[in-house]
Chains A and B, each alone.
Chain A
Amino acid sequence: DIQVTQSPSSVSASVGDRVTITCRASQGIDRWLAWYQQKPGKAPKLLIYAASTLQSGVSSRFSGSGSGTDFTLTVSSLQPDDCATYYCQQANSVPYTFGQGTKLEIK
């Protein structure tokens, strides 16, 4: 199974800051990676897929990059509404696996 490891596990930043979350796959997955945002008590929301494609309706403050084993999610100009847990997911091969999550808090 492909393991995906996120870092950091938590991050605290101020409104207006730029935040970067990374995801590393245990083997190459080309660009088969997505990022999700989840708020407490809610279902996850797709932000980015295929490493860098912005899901329709998602703010352009979110961007993704990477290929192979190393990927990043960047949130530019952090807003209070961005407070959530973020997960990456690999779709290269079954079983599709998620990272352990990164909790983003606003200072």
Chain B
Amino acid sequence: QVQLVQSGAEVKKPGASVKVSCKASGYTFTGYNMHWVRQAPGQGLEWMGWINPNGGTTYARKFQGRVTMTRDTSINTAYLELRDLRSDDTAAYYCTRDNSWYFFDYWGQGALVTVSS
């Protein structure tokens, strides 16, 4: 069965960077796009960007310059790095598989990133 297992919660200081991982299993990792979506506490869902099977990326304009999405196909793992963290980056960060129609059919459990001085 398809599973996306993310790394654990992180606490970071303002200005720091965070890297969240997402290990995929149960399907051909290189056959699907992977997206990242975040959700601030008590708030809605915000799309951040995606990485395609060739490693190409598309980022939401809001995050360009601060975000990098990568993947290591040898271990079926996708990564999200967010730099220059601010308090309003405090959120659960989800990886989610694209069902080939740009809709999100499988989700990781979320990784809570807390930014606090």
Residues of A within 8 A of B (CB): 32, 34, 36, 38, 43-46, 49-50, 55, 87, 89, 91, 94-101
Contacts and interface: CB of A to CB of B under 8 A. Distances in A.
A43 B109 contact: yes
Contact of A96 (B62, B102, B107, B109): B102
Contacts of A100: 44
B60 A95 contact: yes
Given A91-B101, A94-B58, A44 B107 contact: yes
A43 B105 CA distance: 11
A56 to B, nearest CB: 9
A7 to B, nearest CB: 14
B32 interface: no
B96 to A, nearest CB: 8
B104 A46 contact: yes
Nearest to B4: A43
Nearest to B63: A95
Contacts of B62: 95
- 8 A-B pairs closest in CB distance: A43-B107, A91-B102, A49-B103, A95-B60, A98-B45, A34-B103, A96-B47, A46-B105
Nearest to A85: B44
A101 B44 CA distance: 7
